[in-house]
Amino acid sequence: MELLEKEIGLISEETPYVAEFFRTYRITPANPKISLGEYLNTQDDEYFEDIGMDKEQLIDNLAGFIEMGQEKEESKVNSITIIGGHDKSGNAEELTLTLDNGTITSIVGPTGSGKSRLLADIEWMAQGDTPTSRKILVNGSVPDPELRFSLEHKLVAQLSQNMNFVIDTTVEEFITMHAESRMILNPTEIVAEIIRQANLLAGESFTGETPVTALSGGQSRALMIADTAFLSSSPVVLIDEIENAGIDRKKALSLLVKKEKIVLMATHDPILALMAGQRLVIKNGGIHKIIPTSTAEKANLSALEELDNKILALRNSLRNGEVIEGEF
């Protein structure tokens, strides 16, 4: 096989992400110019017993790991561009809007105004073939048809208000399964970090041993936001009505931005709307207006957050059985 004949140093140079694989399986030659085949031939039976596979299986796993890594690099999305179509009355949207990774855009508008249609156009990478006639570019170009219709490379991950588990497993087992499906070689650390981050978002804590069916609505959403940030391959995340999710909204958005997701957030909450860099106003099925969040609005955000913290304190008082009296 070609991999067996290649120098280990050359494999690492061509595919830097393979270092994780080599660390996991203790492929650490003193001389990087030795071929992978030669190195493995120096290993005794105890080595292969320890890693739980023979040489052929190890090579197959390495080949699969490299292929998945290459697919990730090739399909990386840095931006999406929305080219306007028309609203329900046929009026042109006349816009070209680019959303970069690590940004937050809120979507506001009355129920039935067309927020879901906008998301669907993005998710399907529309090319003038949806009711709005919008077009979506990926990294500034028309997406390859293979990417458009791929079942593996989903552009959008959706996080809704209603999120319930039916699988009979623990939190740790559930996240570990997802990590392994993404070919994370040492899932223990990342699983622990996902659970830790989810607990920072949730109103009440849980452990890796907690059955997923026992999680509250807020805990479930917190877990899936953390899971999406660390493990989802979808570059665009839509959060629907996060204000009712029972989680720390600001921390949730910061985590997704830190992981370079393009965040689209349908909301009626003025705090969340102003946390975004801009908001899209949807009317009659079309993007009616794009409003960048101004400096004055950011100043108002601080006052709104202070008021929100007071309301949160009152809620916690009620939950703890305290009596609310006097001025506040």
Per-residue confidence band for 271, with pLDDT thresholds at 50, 70 and 90: confident
Average pLDDT over residues 188-214: 90
Per-residue confidence band for 246, with pLDDT thresholds at 50, 70 and 90: low
Predicted confidence at residue 314, as pLDDT, reads 83
Pairing of strands 278-283, 286-292: antiparallel
Q: Which of 68-82, 226-240, 285-299 reaches the highest mean pLDDT?
A: 285-299
- pLDDT tops 90 at residue 218: no
- pLDDT tops 80 at residue 16: no
39 neighbors 27 (Cβ within 8 angstroms): yes
Per-residue confidence band for 244, with pLDDT thresholds at 50, 70 and 90: low
> 63 vs 184, which has greater pLDDT?
63
Residue 240 vs residues 107, 148, 283: alpha-carbon distances, Å? 10, 23, 18
- pLDDT tops 60 at residue 40: yes
Predicted confidence at residue 328, as pLDDT, reads 62
Per-residue confidence band for 162, with pLDDT thresholds at 50, 70 and 90: low
157 neighbors 229 (Cβ within 8 angstroms): no
187 neighbors 20 (Cβ within 8 angstroms): no
DSSP 219-265: HHHHHHHHHHHHH---SEEEEE-GGGSSB-HHHHHHHHHHTT-EEEE
- The interaxial angle of helices 217-231 and 187-201, nearest 10 deg, is 140
The secondary structure element, H or E, covering residue 83 is strand 79-83
Measured distance CA(172)–CA(189) in Å, rounded: 11
pTM assigned to the model? 0.71
pLDDT in tens, 52-111: 888 888 888 888 888 777 666 556 788 999 999 999 999 999 999 999 999 999 999 988
Predicted confidence at residue 161, as pLDDT, reads 61
173 neighbors 162 (Cβ within 8 angstroms): no
A 10 A CB-CB count for 58 gives 21
168 neighbors 213 (Cβ within 8 angstroms): yes
Q: Which of 43-47, 98-102, 177-181, 219-223 reaches the highest mean pLDDT?
A: 98-102
Beta bridge partners of 239: 159, 265
For the chain, domain boundaries: 2-74, 300-328
Average pLDDT over residues 175-198: 85
Predicted confidence at residue 208, as pLDDT, reads 92
